[in-house]
């Protein structure tokens, strides 16, 4: 830790961060910092697969059209086309890295392609039902052996270091990022990291909700840091709730993949009666927002704890081959998916908004990039099309790599050390766990699948109280990982609520009882921090 000066500092260890690191490592000195183990992020949890037009009867144009329909008028068409056109190349790059996708010799591509909600054709390439894990493991092997890539586990970023915070750069015409303060959780020491380019790749903010399919790492760190540094944030009201999270007291955050419905799974009431045809003509293959709202409606209408996803009519060999992880996990919990339906509920799954970037991942701060779920490129619009997320990680990370490679080297100022001279050790850390629990519960109750203005106002009042408490705590005590995550969650919650209150319509993932209609013109919700 004696020399923390790098060409590129990547905060986060998901697919986007790994892809970028591997594209830069031939010519750049890279540091990846990750707050837990290197494989603990949401990318490893992705089950379904990656969308790409690989078959002869598919095309990038069809992929674009499906994405635009799902995005409910808010997708950036130029970005969407760019990502769809580069999708096949990105998949072949993964194959070159050693990723093994499920094969199918009856398919001209040589790979099994599945279909998910919102897609008009089979275009999801996958590795069984644990695609994210297969991809991450292959890339980790590459990362570990590369001499130009340093990986620091158990390190959490506190804040970005920007020119407006430095006395000799305050008057600079163009605000710049010079690096970040990083807490080493192993020894509770804060280090100053300097970098030619800094990249936010920390994933989304779904842990702001009580029920989520995401790992504990999804606390909106990159989004909150970008916001505090002055980046524009867009469309945070669009939180995707996955329709089918396993409902079981011992199955924390376990996702039942979209592909189960894509391969014929049927949603049913406890009576065994299907209900999706009542809500949409596409039934179980409707986009996720429609399916999640339908499940939410039926549960509230009938006072149900869950609904059921039934694929037991498929052959046993088929289920074991295509859904080995789901089959095994359910069996551990006493659910045999070959004989009985799976109890499921909706859960917060994906953050469609984030730090505003262009197609190269560049933010509006010089030398700061954001990629993956942290970023808002415009691909997802008001609702993400299934399996477009890992794809976005790949394509935008590769584009960011090309852009960073072409950036000139600049002289960097000496950055000030972290100042702990006026703080003490915390006296009551239980306050943090209480605030964390309170935040996630009222966000679930007031800012969930169906919203009202009154619910949003209630959430906003509670957020303000929490922010005051957390600010006092942050100002007076030494930082801890739990405190930093709570601070980022509250900032993320605030951005979600503020964005939702600005949208006076229902569109995509944002459904308001007070504004049930969709406006004729689709506009992004863009938040810009006031100059302090």
Active-site residue list: 288
User: Other CB atoms closer than 10 Å to residue 222's CB: what's the count?
Assistant: 30
274 token code pair: 């299907």
Question: Are 376 and 233 a contacting pair, CB within 8 Å?
Answer: yes
103 token code pair: 């094969």
The helix/strand/coil state of 209 is coil
CA distances from 319 to 263, 264, 312, 324, 328 (A): 10, 11, 8, 7, 11
Q: Where are the beta strands (DSSP E) in 482-531?
A: 526-527
Q: Which residue has the tokens 């694929």?
A: 311
Cα–Cα distance between 49 and 215 in angstroms, integer? 18
- Show Cβ contacts of residue 184 under 8 Å, excluding neighbours closer than 6 positions: 1, 152, 154, 155, 190, 191
Q: Which residue has the tokens 């080297």?
A: 409
- Show Cβ contacts of residue 207 under 8 Å, excluding neighbours closer than 6 positions: 214, 216, 217, 218, 219, 220, 440, 485, 489
Greatest Cα pair distance, the chain, in angstroms, is: 70
The 8-class DSSP code of residue 408 comes to P
CA 15 and chain centroid, separation: 11
Cα–Cα distance between 498 and 501 in angstroms, integer? 5
Q: Is 518 exposed, middle or buried (0-12, 13-18, 19+ CB in 10 A)?
A: middle
Cα–Cα distance between 487 and 472 in angstroms, integer? 11
Question: Are 137 and 37 a contacting pair, CB within 8 Å?
Answer: no
- Show Cβ contacts of residue 36 under 8 Å, excluding neighbours closer than 6 positions: 153, 154, 216, 217
Question: Are 251 and 329 a contacting pair, CB within 8 Å?
Answer: yes
How many residues can be counted in the chain? 532
55 token code pair: 């078959």
DSSP bridge partners of 33: 11, 152
User: What is the enclosing helix (H) or strand (E) of 462?
Assistant: helix 453-476
Sheet of strand 113-114, all strands in order from the earlier edge strand to the far edge: 50-51, 124-125, 113-114
Question: Are 273 and 266 a contacting pair, CB within 8 Å?
Answer: no
Burial readout 322-359 (b: 16 or more C-beta within 10 A, e: otherwise): bbeebbebbeeeebebbeebbbbbbbbbbbbbbbbbbb
Question: Are 251 and 103 a contacting pair, CB within 8 Å?
Answer: no
């Amino acid at each position: 830790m004696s020399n923390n000066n790098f060409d590129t500092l990547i905060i986060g260890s998901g697919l986007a961060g790994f892809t970028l690191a591997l594209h830069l490592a031939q010519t750049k000195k890279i540091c990846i910092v990750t707050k837990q183990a290197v494989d603990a992020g949401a990318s490893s949890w992705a089950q379904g697969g990656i969308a790409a037009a690989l078959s002869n009867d598919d095309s990038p144009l069809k992929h674009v059209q499906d994405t635009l329909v799902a995005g409910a008028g808010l997708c950036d068409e130029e970005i969407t086309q760019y990502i769809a056109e580069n999708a096949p190349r990105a998949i072949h790059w993964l194959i070159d890295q050693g990723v093994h996708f499920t094969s199918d010799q009856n398919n001209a591509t040589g790979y099994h392609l599945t279909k998910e909600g919102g897609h008009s054709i089979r275009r999801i390439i996958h590795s069984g039902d644990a695609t994210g894990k297969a991809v991450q493991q292959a890339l980790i092997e590459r990362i570990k052996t590369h001499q130009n890539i340093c990986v620091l586990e158990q390190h959490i970023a506190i804040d970005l270091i920007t020119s407006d915070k430095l006395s000799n750069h305050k008057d600079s015409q163009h605000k710049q990022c010079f690096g970040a303060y990083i807490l080493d959780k192993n020894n509770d020491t804060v280090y100053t990291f300097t970098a030619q380019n800094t990249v936010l790749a920390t994933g989304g903010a779904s842990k702001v909700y009580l029920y989520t399919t995401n790992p504990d790492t999804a606390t909106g760190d990159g989004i909150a840091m970008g916001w505090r540094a002055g980046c524009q944030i867009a469309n945070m009201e669009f939180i995707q709730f996955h329709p089918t999270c396993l409902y079981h007291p011992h199955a924390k955050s376990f996702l039942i993949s979209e592909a189960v419905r894509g391969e014929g799974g049927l949603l049913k009431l406890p009576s065994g009666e299907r209900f999706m045809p009542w809500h949409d003509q596409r039934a179980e293959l409707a986009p996720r927002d429609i399916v999640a709202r339908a499940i939410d409606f039926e549960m509230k209408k009938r006072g149900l704890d869950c609904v059921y996803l039934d694929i037991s009519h498929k052959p046993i060999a088929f289920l074991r081959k295509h859904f080995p992880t789901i089959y095994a996990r359910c069996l551990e919990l006493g659910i045999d998916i070959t004989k009985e339906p799976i109890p499921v509920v909706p859960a917060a799954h994906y953050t469609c908004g984030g730090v505003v970037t262009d197609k190269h991942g560049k933010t509006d701060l010089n030398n700061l990039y954001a990629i993956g779920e942290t970023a808002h490129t415009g691909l997802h619009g008001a609702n993400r099309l299934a399996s477009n997320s890992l794809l976005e990680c790949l394509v935008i990370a590769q584009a960011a790599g090309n852009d960073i490679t072409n950036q000139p080297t600049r002289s960097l100022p000496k950055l000030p050390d972290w100042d702990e001279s006026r703080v003490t050790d915390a006296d009551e850390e239980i306050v943090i766990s209480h605030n964390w629990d309170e935040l996630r519960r009222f966000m679930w109750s007031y800012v969930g699948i169906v919203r009202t203005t009154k619910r949003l106002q209630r959430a906003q009042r509670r957020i303000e109280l929490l922010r005051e408490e957390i600010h006092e705590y942050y100002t007076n005590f030494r930082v801890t990982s739990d405190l930093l995550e709570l601070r980022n969650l509250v900032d993320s919650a605030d951005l979600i609520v503020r964005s939702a209150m600005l949208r006076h319509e229902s569109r995509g993932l944002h459904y308001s009882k007070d504004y049930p209609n969709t406006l004729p013109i689709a506009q992004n919700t863009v938040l810009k921090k006031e100059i302090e």
